[in-house]
Amino acid sequence: MDEMISIIVPVYHAKKYIVETMDCVLAQTYSHWELLLIEDGGNDGTAELIEQYAAQKEETRIRLIRQPSNLGAASARNRGVGEARGRYIAYLDADDLWVPEKLERELEFLKEKQAAFVFTGYEFADEQGRGTGKVVHVPETLNYRQALSNTTIFTTTVMFDTRKIPKELLEMPLIKSEDTALWFQVLRKGYIAYGLDENLVKYRRAGRTLSSNKLEAIRRIWNLYRRAEGLGRLKSAYHFCFWAVRAVKRRV
């Protein structure tokens, strides 16, 4: 549907947070959305909780989609893109939160810029979803070359217009740091990402072992430069230095 936003949420053992995450979607000031929860082969009762929630709320905009097994977040998001009925695609992680105006403000911004790809600022949050006061500001625009040195685009802040970017191009590579690999993939085709520098998202960091493991993060970004992007050692090292500085600044 022309103005519908399809919200894609990969879900795996997310019982602790999923109700709060669904609540933040229902609280959106923009109401023309569908919520696609891609259950990725978990067994902790999250899927049943989602079904109960949708039934209690009598909410037909919530769709539970089950993966045949645990295939990972990239595969789950790709399934969501394939199942999406809306013109616009927005990603939301199962433990993150949006402020009520997030979809409305971001869609207005996308139309204002006549953009295909937009993202917003965000704030780190504690395990209870309370903002810590550490807000990540974003640049006005990012092209491919700039994005290689500035991986500030956070998945839960992104929105795409599928009238301008074909769904095939939005297929996440099945590699580590798949979200950043997708941004590179889209920007490499000449698209520009427009940044809305407003704090519209709460990024809950608690329990995210992959993100908190610094050595693993270093390996992932280096492999992304060398293998996925095919950059030489010198170019990889150049962009890596800028990535490292910005990554530290975002977290201190």
- The pLDDT assigned to 47 comes to 95
Dihedral, CA of residue 206, residue 200, residue 88 and residue 114, to nearest 10: -140
The angle at the Cα of 122, spanning 120 to 127, to the nearest 5 degrees, equals 145
- The pLDDT assigned to 208 comes to 47
What angle, 0 to 180 degrees and rounded to 10, lies between the N-to-C axes of helices 46-57 and 18-26?
A: 30
CA distance 15 to 12: 8
The angle at the Cα of 161, spanning 172 to 90, to the nearest 5 degrees, equals 60
pTM comes to: 0.90
Give the model confidence (pLDDT) of 113-166 as tens digits: 999 999 999 999 999 999 999 999 999 999 999 999 888 999 999 999 999 999
